[in-house]
Structure 1
């Protein structure tokens, strides 16, 4: 993601994933800091899906991959 011409990454993270504690406080802090550092890269878009959106479409809750071009890759896994 830090090469001269990196692929574009667009990810949607459910709010509960950001709040779920798994590991020590230091582990969680490190993971969130890494996510923020990655989100700051010019080729990366990170969005959060809030709890209050209600039920989501089944496609949003199941793993899927979309390859649109040589430079754009969309992949999701729960």
Structure 2
């Protein structure tokens, strides 16, 4: 059974969100079991209120949030802190 996964808060047609997900795809090369969930904040008023101006935001199971802009190195360090890489 897979454990908790990071959540990428996003919206449709968000080019920065696509870039962030591309970094996650690249990170999977070093962490083959890495999986994440993409949540469209436009479908939830509370999430839209919280993240609307900040997306993409990657929220980890431990509560840490990595907000854009972030690099592959930033992502790797966060994944290591969470024990996901």
**TM > 0.5 fold call:** no
CA radius of gyration, larger in: 1
TM-score computed with the length of structure 1 as normaliser: 0.36
TM-score computed with the length of structure 2 as normaliser: 0.34
Structure showing the higher strand proportion among its residues: 1
Structure showing the higher helix proportion among its residues: 2
